[in-house]
Each structure stands twice: as C-alpha cells, then as structure tokens.
C-alpha cells in the first residue's frame, strides 16, 4: 500500500503521522516513510512496476478497472479476492485509492479457454458489485468492446437512449467506431 500526501510541509508531516498511526492500528507489518523526494520517487516506482511484476507471473494478464466510492474500497478489495476464490483464479489488485479506482488483474494463460470464461464471469460479478456500491464500470480505461454489455446496467435506459440519439446525429451512417458501444447499423 503506497500512500501519498502533498501540500504545506507542516500539513504533510501531520497527515503522514496520522496515516502511519492508522496503518499501525490496522496491523501493517512494515511502514516506510520517505525522508526526501528521492526516496519518495523510489517508493512510487514500486507502484508503477505493479503491472510488470504481475505480468512476470503468468503468460497472460487480464486487467480491468472499476471505481467505487472511497468509503467502499475495503469492501471492494475483499470482494475481488472472494470472487477470485469463487472462480479459482489468481488475482492481483492495485489502483488509485484517492479516486476509488481499482485494477483487478487476473493471471492466466489465454490458451486456457475454461479459465478465460471464468475470468469473464468474475469481471461480470466485479462490475455488478461496483455498480451496486454506487461506482462505475470504468475509472480510466473506457468502455470499448470489453465492457459494452455492462453499459446498459450502469447507464440505464434513458442515458442509453440519449447516447444513441447523439450518436445518430453525429454519425448517422454508423461509420465511426462501429460496434464499440452500439451494434452496427
């Protein structure tokens, strides 16, 4: 868990002390506080390396994102772990806690069609839970083909109708990105 804060040095110091106390209260086994910008950059590089580290563990990694209210992060992290267990999958979850964005990353081999099917089911469970918690099915990766089937559950019928009307005005022949959000005309 990498926690960052910024602002006036006195405020940063106070916030860092509070965060350290909270971490200790909740059983953190090791806590490191950066002493300077160089050390902070070194710690932050570990976060940027999370996906690469996971990618070394299996031939294929399937990463998605879902965003939940920050108050629901703990629940959602536990939920993702439970879903992985339910479908007998390996998962690593990282994200951006400041905006509630999580990146569940399943470790697999895309040649294993049974496991790939279970991953699809797992993401369906995860996206439905994110919506139930008042979150979204995407934080930064967009909808595209992979999440197309979940958009109506998230947006609702009225928003889907409006999206389609706007699409028809801007692209009446359906030539721009056909099939990405709406089926081809």
pLDDT above 90 covers a percentage of the chain that reads 47
| Closest C-alpha among 132, 119, 116, 81 to residue 102 | 81
Selected residue with higher pLDDT from 54 and 60: 60
126, burial (CB in 10 Å: exposed 0-12, middle 13-18, buried 19+): buried
Residue with the two structure tokens 């976060």: 47
Average pLDDT, the chain: 89
d(CA 127, CA 64): 10
Instruction: Give the C-alpha distances (Å, rounded to integers) separating 124 from 2, 35, 98, 120.
Output: 28, 42, 24, 6
| Closest C-alpha among 127, 88, 87 to residue 104 | 127
Domain residue extents for the chain: 1-48
Selected residue with higher pLDDT from 106 and 43: 106
- The pLDDT score that the predictor gives to residue 147 is 84
d(CA 33, CA 17): 9
Cα angle 153, 154, 157 (rounded to 5 degrees) comes to 65
CA 120 centroid distance within chain? 15
Instruction: Give the C-alpha distances (Å, rounded to integers) separating 88 from 51, 119, 128, 175.
Output: 21, 9, 19, 41
d(CA 136, CA 134): 7
Phi/psi of residue 94, nearest 5 degrees? -140, 175
87-138: pLDDT as tens digits: 999 999 988 888 899 999 999 999 999 999 999 999 999 999 999 999 999 8
Confidence of residue 185 (pLDDT cuts 50, 70, 90): low
Pairing of strands 60-63, 101-108: antiparallel
């Amino acid at each position: 868990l990498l926690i960052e804060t910024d602002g006036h040095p006195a405020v940063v110091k106070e916030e860092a002390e509070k965060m350290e106390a909270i971490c200790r209260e909740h059983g953190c086994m090791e806590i490191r506080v950066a002493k300077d910008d160089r050390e902070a950059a070194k710690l932050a590089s570990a976060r940027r390396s999370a996906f690469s580290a996971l990618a070394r563990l299996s031939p294929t990694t399937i990463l998605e994102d879902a965003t939940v209210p920050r108050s629901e992060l703990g629940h959602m992290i536990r939920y993702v772990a439970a879903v992985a267990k339910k479908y007998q999958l390996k998962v690593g979850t990282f994200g951006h806690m400041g905006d509630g964005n999580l990146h569940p990353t399943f470790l697999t081999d895309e040649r294993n069609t049974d496991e790939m099917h279970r991953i699809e089911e797992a993401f369906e469970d995860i996206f439905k839970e994110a919506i139930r918690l008042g979150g979204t099915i995407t934080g930064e990766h967009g909808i595209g083909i992979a999440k197309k089937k979940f958009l109506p559950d998230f947006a609702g019928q009225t928003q889907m109708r409006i999206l389609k009307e706007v699409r028809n005005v801007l692209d009446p022949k359906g030539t721009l990105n056909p099939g990405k959000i709406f089926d081809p005309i």
